Amino acid sequence: MTVEPSTLARIRSALDRHASQEMSFGGHVLHQVEPTSAQHSRVWSAQLDTLFEERHLRRVVRAAGADAPERTPTLTGTLDPWSLELDLALELADASTEVDIAGTEQTRTCTVCSGESKTRCPECGGEGTLGYRRPCLSCHGTGLSTCDACEGQGRLVELQVVEILRRHDAQTLVDRGAPVPAEVMAQATRDELLHLDIPRMDVATYDATTGAYRGRGPSDPEFEGQVRDLVAGKEATPPARIVRQRLVVRYVPVVEVEYDWRGDPGKLWLVGTEERVFGRDMPLKGAFVSRTVSAARKRFEGWFGKGRNKEG
């Protein structure tokens, strides 16, 4: 079987890049590779992003501003944090924040300074002096300091806040029926495969509500079933809830290349749109070098053996 000239040129280009980027020595041997066949295929992959969220109510006390009005709570009773409408973007990332609940504010007199805005100086104990009757530098001899609780305002604001904790979970599913061997896939990180597929990718988003794809989805029923199981199996453990899910289905183009190298057949794969080279007998670093040394030893083993026997 002959390889099309355009495909052969791509294979040569990929091998040249591999030799220059991944091989510190022995890269010239890649020019001796003779592709005998090339089969194009695609490896489906799906990434499911799930955003989990927890909400917890807390009561906090803060200093009232100088111009803060008197407030009494308008919301009473037990509040449901999930009934609150919060204007927060649902970014797919870990995050934590607090949001004030309007209507729960209540202004009251500071219980620390009893509304006087001053408390006993902690440095001198309210004496105004330190040892040997030296004036206290902290309170300037007055024995009083600004109340930390109310920040010198004499009033506090008590209110409820909702604490929001978000956790992003990303799970990737690769087609088990892919022609690329599992050990080769393991050498390439998932991020790298997905990154390589970004320039020319076939994207389909699966809508769990309608059970259908928007866009062009995979034609493999088995893989589609795996994707459905992946979505259905994602559940939240109380008190967390799922607030957003995104599923993107992609494919990674793969070219399976059979080749001959000095009478030694082999197989390698060009993976992704950048066509990175992977192979069972071809590690990323020092590719073919071990095979070159092995072939040389095998070829000259008899000659070296005769030389040693003759000397003996």
Domain spans in the chain, listed from the N-terminal domain onward: 5-49+167-307, 52-76+90-166
Is the predicted pLDDT of residue 105 greater than 50, yes or no? yes
Stretch 237-244: mean pLDDT? 92
Which pLDDT band holds residue 190 (cuts at 50, 70, 90)? very low
Query: Residue 146 pLDDT > 70, yes or no?
Result: yes
Work out the percent of the chain whose per-residue pLDDT is above 90: 29
pLDDT of 128 above 70: yes
Sort strands 34-63 and 241-261 into parallel, antiparallel or unpaired: antiparallel
Average pLDDT of span 235-255? 85
What 8-state DSSP symbol labels residue 282? B
- Confidence band, pLDDT 50/70/90 cuts, at residue 223: confident
Least reliable range by pLDDT among 52-56, 179-183, 228-232: 179-183
Average pLDDT over residues 119-143: 89
Residues in the chain: 312
Which pLDDT does position 189 carry in this prediction?
A: 43
Bridge partners (DSSP) listed for residue 82:
none
Residue 204 in this model has a pLDDT that exceeds 80: no
Task: Report pLDDT for 220.
Answer: 72
Q: Alpha carbon 265 to chain centroid distance?
A: 40
Per residue in 270-304, pLDDT tens?
887 778 888 766 543 444 444 555 555 555 555 54
Q: Which residue has the higher pLDDT, 50 or 264?
A: 50
Segment 63-67 shows an average pLDDT of: 85
Residue type, position 83, single letter: S
**If you average pLDDT over residues 150-173, what whole number do you get?**
93
The secondary structure element, H or E, covering residue 245 is strand 241-261
- H helices present in the chain, as ranges: 5-22, 182-187, 190-197, 221-232, 289-311
CA-based radius of gyration for the chain: 35
Q: Please provide the average confidence, as pLDDT, over all residues in the chain.
A: 78
Average pLDDT on 120-145 reads 89
116 contacts: CB under 8 Å, gap ≥ 6: 147, 154
- For the chain, what is the largest distance between any 2 Cα atoms, rounded to a whole number of angstroms? 109
* Over residues 182-210, mean pLDDT: 47
Most confident of 66-80, 202-216, 266-280: 66-80
pLDDT score at 219: 65
pLDDT band at 194 (very low <50, low <70, confident <90, very high): very low
Q: Are 299 and 204 in contact (CB under 8 A)?
A: no
**27-60 per-position pLDDT tens digit:** 667 777 889 999 887 777 778 888 999 999 999 9
169 pLDDT above the threshold of 70: yes
The half-sphere exposure of 24 on its side-chain side, counting CA atoms within 13 A, is: 1
